[in-house]
Amino acid sequence: MGTDGAREAAVAAITAAVTESGLEAECPREGSFLVTLPGRAKLKTLVWLETGPHSLTLTSFFCRQPDENHADFYLWLMRKNSDMYGMAFAADEAGDVYLRGRLPLEGVTPDEVDRLLGCVLTYSDENFNGALERGFASAIRREWKWRAERGHDMRNLRAFAHLAEPADDL
């Protein structure tokens, strides 16, 4: 199969996988998809799937560069990479973190696309709070204190209650 045929087959496989999964998706340009994955810890994960002449690339923003504890934050993420299927955590020039993966067009099937989207969701959702604890603990503590003093809703901070100061109202 030629390059154009492989790309067309990959686009058809992506379309089938997204449709079968009932996921929200946009096609902003030919061969590119922006898929929305619903999560729990990270409530929404956006994934770009882009078909090139020879491969499918998946890119998902994970979180911005950490405010603190940089070495532990990035080391923790890099250690996660060794157990991940089809993708890895990567940082851009600014230090922002993404999940990135690449697959030869010949390997793009609806089942493989579904598997990779599941991996993005799992890796993003399961590691999000751990990353925030490592790179943003001070900001979380400040936010907790600010909300507690004003009686604001703490629901989306409950996962970080263990980071609050002992004297803070939990």
Range of the domain at 13: 3-135
- 14 and 74 within one domain: yes
Mind listing the pLDDT tens digit for each residue in 83-123?
A: 999 999 999 999 999 999 999 999 999 999 999 999 999 99
- 149 and 128 within one domain: no
For residue 57, list its beta bridge partners: 50, 102
Position 165 confidence tier, pLDDT thresholds 50, 70, 90: low
- 45 and 27 within one domain: yes
Look up the CATH number of the domain holding residue 71: 3.30.1460.10
42: phi then psi, degrees, rounded to nearest 5: -105, 110
- 101 and 22 within one domain: yes
- 146 and 129 within one domain: no
Torsion of CA 49, 23, 30, 56, to 10 degrees: 20
Supply the mean pLDDT for the chain: 93
Which parts of 7-146 are beta strand (E)? 24-29, 32-38, 44-51, 55-63, 88-91, 97-104
- 164 and 149 within one domain: yes
Mind listing the pLDDT tens digit for each residue in 1-46?
A: 567 899 999 999 999 999 999 999 999 999 999 999 999 888 899 9
C-alpha 140/C-alpha 96 separation (Å) is: 18
- 51 and 97 within one domain: yes
- 141 and 131 within one domain: no
- 126 and 145 within one domain: no
DSSP 168: S
- 143 and 105 within one domain: no
Is 70 exceeded by the pLDDT of residue 72? Answer: yes
Q: Which of 130, 154, 128 is nearest to 45 (CA)?
A: 128
Which single residue is written with the structure tokens 């979380």? Answer: 140
Mind listing the pLDDT tens digit for each residue in 120-152?
A: 999 999 999 999 999 999 999 998 899 889 988
